[in-house]
A and B are shown apart, each in its own frame.
Chain A
């Protein structure tokens, strides 16, 4: 249980706005370590840099500084990607396909043969309670159905490591419970889970470890049992609020000293 599945050191990511090449530091000196079989919940207010972190881990963005190892490889490595599942934030899928065609297409990208693809598609549609909608075009799916299909898509290759960006947003209470159960099931199967979320009760149920991002910096990190057992915090939410408040306070006192946070409004939509 000491094998690091995700290892990040000193990760910095600058975004550049197109015209003026204005720099915005979305991530600032992030360190992370997630071990095999662990579930890690990345928390933080809107615009904190959670999605940016996942995109960097998946090789969709290139780091400005720092090192990233995922499953022992650099991000975006094909061999590693074969063992990874990913659900993007607010996923959008090929509207012209049906749900089963969609899953079948992704199964093909993992080089699965026809029989396996068929079996896997059926199994996953059942798992996310979309069996009845399997042949309907995705165009006609509701937001929650899309989210469920997204989860199914992320599990198509029976991944060792799953990245989920807000898997429980946009769902009804039943959907949220279903997704939570699926995540608990994955955990039981020994998969490593890395996910972003605002649903703190779910995070508490699922995660071993949480990290709280604020303005691109990790302002708190710890094991959920320690945080909630310590007595200081009854709920994860109290911990979260406390960290964000004190960090925001510090940020104010420093008189906006961090030179890269130029677009302040963008960083604090909430």
Chain B
């Protein structure tokens, strides 16, 4: 069941022209990055790599958000959901199937962009020295994108694509700025504002936190590999978040009426 829905969703996404438009822009941005990078004085490969990975993350996120926010919404809007909810499947199977379908699509595009970028680097440097750390980085980027997909899926069960896009982008950004809650808490403590401090700590706790993941990814590119514990923590954190988001999406899908 989940497989059938995932396969159908995957098919939907790869037959969507928007995906290819985004991928073309991603390729152009990668090339532009390399050209500008090689114009810089010291021609540091590391700068090129960071720029490339940033491009991949951004465009992967654009794909995840663009397709993800439409995922469930489109089924409701076009009323194809009528056909799904009157079949003997559970709502959680529907939600999970949708998620995995898009996750598969993003998997393919993420690593395809990575491959393209690696080829460009090879063209520039003539070696594949960075292939391994790059693979590790791409995997972590994928993990991050899974979180973005789950957030988008969650919002798409009840909000319009535009609202979902804004919320998803917002949360994703917050995930990268999670240190700011710490700063806020510290500031509040200094001013003896207990309520604000509590609020900041609470937000730090419930909002997605991508700081560790980003640190690990940066270290990887410097050929410093994380301990199994740290890596395990990063993975478990994202997975837990996914489970919670998909559960919430299921609850919403179960409770709502289809009109």
Contact = CB atoms under 8 A, between A and B. Distances in A.
Interface in A83-99: 84, 86, 88, 91-94, 96-97
A245 interface: no
Q: DSSP class of A's interface residues: helix, strand, loop or mixed?
A: loop
Given A62-B257, A78-B90, A109-B88, A96 B83 contact: no
Contacts, number: 68
Contacts of B190: none
Interface string A103-125: 00110111100000000000000
A195 to B, nearest CB: 15
Interface string A30-72: 0000000000000000000000000100111110000000000
> Interface residues of B toward A: which range?
20 to 34
B88 A110 contact: yes
A81 interface: yes
A81 B80 contact: no
Given A61-B259, A109-B88, A110-B88, A97 B1 contact: no
Interface of B: 1, 3-5, 8, 11-12, 15-16, 78-80, 82-90, 257-259
24 contacts: A55-B258, A55-B259, A58-B85, A58-B86, A60-B82, A60-B85, A60-B86, A60-B258, A62-B257, A76-B85, A78-B89, A79-B88, A82-B88, A84-B86, A88-B82, A91-B82, A92-B80, A93-B80, A93-B83, A96-B16, A101-B11, A106-B83, A108-B3, A109-B1
Given A60-B85, A92-B79, 10 more contacts: A58-B86, A60-B258, A81-B87, A91-B79, A91-B83, A93-B80, A94-B8, A94-B80, A109-B84, A110-B88
